[in-house]
Structure 1
Amino acid sequence: MHPHLRRRWAAPVLLALVSPALVASPAAATNPDTSALRDAVTVEGVSEHLDALQKIAEENGGTRVSGTAGYDASGDYVADRLLDAGYRVTEQEFTFPYFEQTAPATFARTAPTERAYAAEEFAVAQFSGSGAASAPLQAVADNLVPPPPEPNSSNAGCQAEDYAGFQAGNIALVQRGTCTFGEKALAAAAAGASALIIFNEGQEGRTEVVQGTLGGPLPEGSDIPVIGTTYAIGEELTTLLGAGEVRVDITTATLSEQRTTSNYLAETRTGRTEEVVVVGAHLDSVSEGPGINDNGSGSATVLEIAEQFAALDVQPRNAVRFAFWGAEESGLLGSTHYVAGLTEQERADIALNLNFDMLGSPNFARFVYDGDGSDTPVAGPPGSADIERVFLDHFAAAGLAAEPTEFSGRSDYGPFIAVGIPAGGLFSGAEGIKTEAQVALYGGTAGVAYDACYHQACDDIANVSEQSLSELGDAAAHATLWFASAETLPGAAPAEAAVAGGGAAGGGAVSGGHDGHADR
């Protein structure tokens, strides 16, 4: 990677120590005292950055999505604050496939009876084509209604033979399953479908509206409208088809084109550069809203940690690289671009990645990525268990409950674990539903999403919990300094030992983060 320097070289940071507790001495490396940094990283400081991001969104059409003026202004804000703190700031530009809905979509059944589906009952697939279709509905082979017990069992709509007997011009009804949504869309278009409806598969956790990505713009001629919907609606339509003809209307208005966006990076001036700790968060929002929790909360926390590192004149044993990723919501594209651009030596010099994505959910839980895979199906690369343990030990010492969340590569740690770099981080919850047991641990409301405004316009400055910001922010600051101070860091595994399901865009099981835009 050879990114250009942003604007100017900043003045050197003063080397006088303001707190002996923040010097990376051998004793501190064993059990570093992180209290001064934790005290300095406050909710007030994080909220100042969130207020700024909210204002930026308000001045730019209500969004900070990559490829727009709102994101560029967010990057300017972060870069200016880092420069003022004394960092050199690198802006790493890259091009990416930009997608936008330019008008609300519609979905209605017109026969045998009429039903207009509400906006919350379906979603336009990322990179869907733009257009209108009004035609008979036709189910493809291998839709499994009711579904089998195991997810990813349905092969519906994955191959040309699934469309045997398909009438060109009809709208295809396809179940979520083994292949990617992009593959389903290409197969449907090749069979002559005028539009595609993908309904969820039906097992526990796979019943809600499918919010999918096609992985990139569809080729000309294959760019049909594609929407996702719930299992219940798919089941309803399947039942109606069993009794006779069903007709539906679908309209989508979308824009897909190549645009330029950026990552922003700043590194401490001291510390071992062959043992770099990358501390990152994505800076972009979705197009639907300002993204103050997702992920203003994570990027504001990382920015505040970076500023307080400088204000306290932390002299780390290991260099810390603060990273603010672009185009995460388009499929982890910024972090993927960064990792792909590293030389073999640069990659070897990264000791680990800490990722902070959504730290202020209003109905929060304290989730720690399950680095050792002891409670979820997938472990991170060797060393990830050590990162998990640092977070868990911190929460235990503070008398706070925490629980594991699957380390599946659904946020910007994905490209790091895909090349064997250990990673970990925190998450306060997205659209998942809080349980009664979790209410006993964290408070809040059972039966309600951790963040009911996830990927919506209401993800604004009112959509954050100060308690969550405080508790997860403390843990983020603690882990950052702990690893910055450590004499021995978790070792990265070889690239061939990469974890299955790593988050490179366009591959793996999921891209886009937090179940927001699954690719299958």
Structure 2
Amino acid sequence: MAARRTTALAGTLAALVLGTSALLVPPAAAHGRGGGPGHGPGHGSGHVVDAERFARQVTTRGVWRHLEELQRIADRNDGNRAALTSGYEASARYVERTLQRAGYTTTRDPFTFEFEVVDAATLTTDGGATYDVDQMQYAPNSPEGGVTAPGSVPADVTGCTADSWAGVEVTGTIAVVSRGVCSFAEKAVAAEAAGAVGVVVYNNVEGILFGTLGAEGVATVPVAGADLADGQAVVADIVDGGATLTLDTRFHVQQEESFNVIAETRAGRDDNVVMLGAHLDGVEEGPGLNDNGSGSAVLLEVAVQLAKQKKLNNTVRFAWWGAEELGLLGSTAYVEELAGQEGELDRIATYLNLDMVGSPNYIIGVYDADESTYPAPVTVPPGSAETEAVLTGWFDATGQPWVDTEFSGRSDYQAFIENGVPASGLFTGADDIKTAEEVALFGGTAGITHDPNYHSPGDDLSNVSREAIGIMAPAVAFATASLANDTSAINGVSGPGDQGHQHGPWKPGKGKGHGRGHAGAMDLRTS
């Protein structure tokens, strides 16, 4: 997961297929969502999968075997499975081998992108202390070896205006200011206007600050983000002893290539494709077993079990995305490629996204497409609420509490919804703090994050909750089987169709990724 993701959807569940012939109409959601039953899949026509039975076939044990292998892969490859590494290649080979044994034909979908290679990212004091910093997006490089100058601190620690620097000797210094009140761009502009030759903005909460100036040319001096404790230590050195600082932040851009892994069922009408995806890459800092080995493993086990279904109404396509942690690059390139091929996006009935579904201090989150809890900062395509209803309907019918998470577009469903494809997804939490209300619903510990090992070396197999996987895996399986049966509530398409496989399976071209290939790219903030 490249950024804090919280998402949800809702609507009416067209039908829940429970047993071989009965339709279960779920109760109204705990959020007070009413609505009567829709029309279930046509049992008299087509090939209806017993969705409840299929949900039982996708087990925690099966998912866990995949997670164990991903852990072994990380252990053998410098402790991570990040894009452009041997760990990612080995992860992809494992997914491909597993799918091929199940009977799928797999495809590597390549894409190219510009990747930022960090050459330097440090702040050093003349007292010998060296701190890690992050060069802000759109900030210029420092000269090789960095900028060396006395440090300065504004009278108002946030340094937002010229008044903040009144009475302070700023010319020829490296300004050190706190996050807060105004944007990073305003801080940089104010400090540079006062004469600073470099700017460091330290966080006002724990953790290193990943920021952006918002556009090219805002500042002509190096600007970096720093950790709260590090920034406070540097400020103390400046105030107490007039410390001299060296700010060295440099990167270069090179062209790189990565790939997605794609597979789809042999059965099902190809003009109505149900698609599911999870990003396969992790961050360089650790094994990435919750983020996002958990989503990848659930998706893989669903695919393996679905291959045993010889007849389906709709084709189901699975994607393991590459370079998500570098800025949603793989999924974006894929959707852009389809958008350039006439009718290809129209074949996708809906998309389900799985990103972090095994958080140790979990919530059971569903993307809030109907905006019943969170106003969406993006346009929600029609059909998304109905897609969500398949997931929430399962939870309601099985007595499982759930909560909305913001439909923000900040995961691999972003490109789909930007191109009008309905979407939904599941999420068990990242770096948000768990509330007492969430503890009452799901257990766990209030006052700490949903995943205390988010984007860290501690995101290993021990960081994944078996309980969360045991809740999420059957939900994904049920939704997959239900949508393979019938998407009429989403797009009006029901049954196997008259023409059968009239288009043939999608074949990849050569995608081009967009955006910075930078591990912190999706964590960027403007203020």
TM over 0.5: yes
- Would the alpha carbon gap of residues 169 and 340 (structure 1) be closer, same or farther in structure 2, given more than 3 Å must change? farther
Deviations 1:435-494 (A, max 9, x none): 1221111111111211111000111111100000110111111111121211415249xx
How much has 1:189 moved relative to structure 2?
9.5
Structure 1 window deviating more from structure 2 (423-432 vs 79-88): it is: 79-88
- Does the alignment pair 1:283 with 2:249? no
1:229-248 matched pairs, under 5 angstroms: 229-230=227-228, 247-248=244-245
Alignment partner, residue 409 of structure 1: 409
Deviations 1:144-191 (A, max 9, x none): 57xxxxxxxx799xxxxxxxx97456356474788788x998999999
Question: 2: CA distance between counterparts of 1:84 and 1:464?
Answer: 26
Which ranges in structure 1 are unaligned for 5 or more consecutive residues? Answer: 1-18, 146-153, 157-164, 493-503
51, 64, 88: which one aligns with 1:47: 64
195, 200, 205: which one aligns with 1:197: 200
Q: Under a length normalisation based on structure 2, what TM-score does the superposition of the two structures give?
A: 0.73
How much has 1:408 moved relative to structure 2?
0.8
One-letter amino acid of the structure 2 residue matched with residue 341 of structure 1: E
Question: 2: CA distance between counterparts of 1:464 and 1:45?
Answer: 14
309, 326, 331: which one aligns with 2:327: 331
Number of equivalent positions: 456
Structure 1 window deviating more from structure 2 (289-298 vs 243-252): it is: 243-252
Which ranges in structure 2 are unaligned for 5 or more consecutive residues? Answer: 1-18, 23-39, 163-168, 493-512
315, 328, 345: which one aligns with 1:319: 315
Alignment partner, residue 394 of structure 1: 394
How much has 1:351 moved relative to structure 2?
1.4
- Would the alpha carbon gap of residues 70 and 47 (structure 1) be closer, same or farther in structure 2, given more than 3 Å must change? same
Report the 3-state secondary structure (helix = DSSP H, G, I; strand = E; otherwise coil) of the residue aligned with 1:260. strand
1:345-356 matched pairs, under 5 angstroms: 345-356=343-354
Which of the pair has more CA radius of gyration? Answer: 2
16, 26, 36: which one aligns with 2:42: 26
Question: 1: CA distance between counterparts of 2:335 and 2:242?
Answer: 51
Report the 3-state secondary structure (helix = DSSP H, G, I; strand = E; otherwise coil) of the residue aligned with 1:420. coil
How much has 1:33 moved relative to structure 2?
3.6
- Does the alignment pair 1:272 with 2:288? no
Question: 2: CA distance between counterparts of 1:305 and 1:215?
Answer: 42
Question: 2: CA distance between counterparts of 1:190 and 1:263?
Answer: 46
Instruction: Compare relative contact order (CA 8 Å, sep 6+) and give the higher one, 1 or 2.
Output: 2
Deviations 1:271-314 (A, max 9, x none): 2222211100000000101101000000111011000001343x
- Does the alignment pair 1:301 with 2:292? no
One-letter amino acid of the structure 2 residue matched with residue 398 of structure 1: T
Question: 2: CA distance between counterparts of 1:71 and 1:215?
Answer: 31
Report the 3-state secondary structure (helix = DSSP H, G, I; strand = E; otherwise coil) of the residue aligned with 2:488. coil
Q: Under a length normalisation based on structure 1, what TM-score does the superposition of the two structures give?
A: 0.74
How much has 1:237 moved relative to structure 2?
7.8
Deviations 1:215-237 (A, max 9, x none): 99999x9795733444x877898
Contact in 2 for aligned 1:123/1:229 (Cα 8 Å):
no
How much has 1:424 moved relative to structure 2?
0.8
Question: 1: CA distance between counterparts of 2:61 and 2:429?
Answer: 22
Report the 3-state secondary structure (helix = DSSP H, G, I; strand = E; otherwise coil) of the residue aligned with 1:371. coil
Contact in 2 for aligned 1:274/1:349 (Cα 8 Å):
yes
How much has 1:353 moved relative to structure 2?
1.0
Report the 3-state secondary structure (helix = DSSP H, G, I; strand = E; otherwise coil) of the residue aligned with 2:43. helix
Contact in 2 for aligned 1:155/1:179 (Cα 8 Å):
no
Identical residues among aligned pairs (%) = 40
- Would the alpha carbon gap of residues 155 and 462 (structure 1) be closer, same or farther in structure 2, given more than 3 Å must change? farther
How much has 1:412 moved relative to structure 2?
0.3
Question: 2: CA distance between counterparts of 1:142 and 1:412?
Answer: 40
Deviations 1:84-106 (A, max 9, x none): 11112110111223356689x65
One-letter amino acid of the structure 1 residue matched with residue 149 of structure 2: A
